Structure 1
Amino acid sequence: MPSTMPEGDYAPVPRQGWWSRNWKWAVPVGCLGMLGSCFCLAAIAVGWGYSSFKDMGAYTDAIAEAQEDPHVQQALGGTFKPGFPSNTQVSTRNGRTHAEFTVPLDGPKADGNLHAVADKNGEAWIFRTLYVQVEDGQRIDLLDTGEPSAEPPEPEVPHELEPEDAEPSEPPAQKKPGKDTDIEL
């Protein structure tokens, strides 16, 4: 029987697999694809978080208060643009939402930062802290309405209760470090 397989120099070279032929371009494309998808997912997460934060009532109320305040308009030079919020913390526990955030404000005359601390119990946001810190050091409190507070002022101590003959107390004697004292740091 004659042999059907060629022998010697005429034998066909076994064909290489796909990976052996294409790994030089497949590895870089695969790595770049993975990095690109991670970047896209991170961008989507940041964008979603930012858009949900901008829609939050505390943010919109704080920006509205700052835009309506004449002192802020005067310090920043009229209308301003709110920037990307930083130092943002929002937490919800037992139906009570607490938010703390700082928003940079870019005005034509000066820049500043809007600082807010607010709580939401039910539907309305109640600000505990709301002020604009201008870059020149001026602090504009947005919760200070300039009206007298509804709370009665602290009663002063009557003068007849203070001793009239009281001599000023002497400062404590100088103590040497490490002797007759508590631990000093």
Structure 2
Amino acid sequence: MNDRPNPGWFGRNWKWFVPTGCLSVLLFAALALAGLIGLGIKGVSGLMSGSEPVRHAMDLAKANPDVRAAFGEPLETGMGFQGSLTTNNDSGEADLSLPIKGPKGSGRIYVKGTREADRWSYRLIEVAIDGSERRIDLLGADAAPDAAPEAASPERSAPDESTPEEESDPEAPAEESAAA
């Protein structure tokens, strides 16, 4: 009667298998791409978090009592570093914005500095607290010990230089008055 043989599995199910198979391949490709992008971001963040400007800024933030009071402990860096960090041999530039978080809140650390002769010097390291206009200057405490000896040396040299002049000035009028 019916001379046509029964179609196989693909012949019976191709109408749903082809779109589902194509969508599965596209979904797998999208997940693989997202994974690669995620690993790239994690890798860049890992490289940045290991850099000297980031380590220095985090050490200053962890040691600052105002930062500890605002964020709590432990203080950690988050994902999403922004800015640039370039080095060439023993020179470089850093202009970074680092996310930080603690149990009490989150914010960002802003770092600007230059590297010359393999030494970093910073123009700005400050913490901005999310949801507040308040900023905490981290260089104020760090720069004070460096500035104190420099400020003390001119003060020391100034009295040493002025002392002979003061001694000669009082002696000169005394000699003048003695001669008169």
Give the aligned partner of residue 112 of structure 1: 107
* RMSD after superposition: 3.4
Candidates 97, 101, 107, aligned match of 2:96: 101
Give the aligned partner of residue 128 of structure 1: 123
Q: Cα gap change, 1:35/1:116 in structure 2, threshold over 3 Å: closer, same or farther?
A: same
Q: Structure 1-normalised TM-score?
A: 0.60
Greater shift in the superposed pair: 121-130 or 74-83: 74-83
Does residue 1:32 correspond to 2:27, yes or no? yes
Q: Which consecutive unaligned segments of at least 5 residues does structure 1 have?
A: 1-8, 153-185
Which residue type is aligned with residue 112 of structure 1? G
Q: Cα gap change, 1:85/1:64 in structure 2, threshold over 3 Å: closer, same or farther?
A: farther
- Following the alignment from structure 1 to structure 2, what is the Cα–Cα distance between the partners of residues 30 and 112? 40
- Following the alignment from structure 1 to structure 2, what is the Cα–Cα distance between the partners of residues 55 and 65? 15
Q: Is the 8 A contact 1:103 1:115 kept in 2?
A: yes
Counterpart secondary structure, 1:27: helix
Counterpart secondary structure, 2:150: coil
Kindly tell me the number of residue pairs found equivalent between the two proteins. Answer: 144
Candidates 137, 141, 153, aligned match of 1:141: 137
> Displacement, 1:42?
0.8
Candidates 67, 85, 88, aligned match of 2:83: 88
- With a CA cutoff of 8 Å and minimum separation of 6, indicate the structure with the bigger relative contact order: 2
Q: Structure 2-normalised TM-score?
A: 0.61
Counterpart secondary structure, 1:137: coil
Q: Is the 8 A contact 1:85 1:101 kept in 2?
A: no
- Following the alignment from structure 2 to structure 1, what is the Cα–Cα distance between the partners of residues 109 and 38? 25
Aligned positions of 1:1-185 closer than 5 A: 10=3, 21=14, 22-77=17-72, 79-93=74-88, 96-134=91-129, 135-144=131-140, 145-146=143-144, 147-148=147-148, 150=150
Q: Cα gap change, 1:13/1:111 in structure 2, threshold over 3 Å: closer, same or farther?
A: closer
- Following the alignment from structure 1 to structure 2, what is the Cα–Cα distance between the partners of residues 24 and 79? 50
> Displacement, 1:110?
4.9
Counterpart secondary structure, 1:36: helix
Q: Is the 8 A contact 2:91 2:118 kept in 1?
A: no
Greater shift in the superposed pair: 32-41 or 137-146: 137-146
Which residue type is aligned with residue 143 of structure 1? L
Q: Is the 8 A contact 2:45 2:81 kept in 1?
A: no
- Following the alignment from structure 2 to structure 1, what is the Cα–Cα distance between the partners of residues 65 and 136? 10
- Following the alignment from structure 1 to structure 2, what is the Cα–Cα distance between the partners of residues 132 and 53? 18
Q: Is the 8 A contact 2:99 2:107 kept in 1?
A: yes
Q: Which consecutive unaligned segments of at least 5 residues does structure 2 have?
A: 155-180
Counterpart secondary structure, 2:68: helix
- The structure carrying a bigger helix percent of its residues is 2
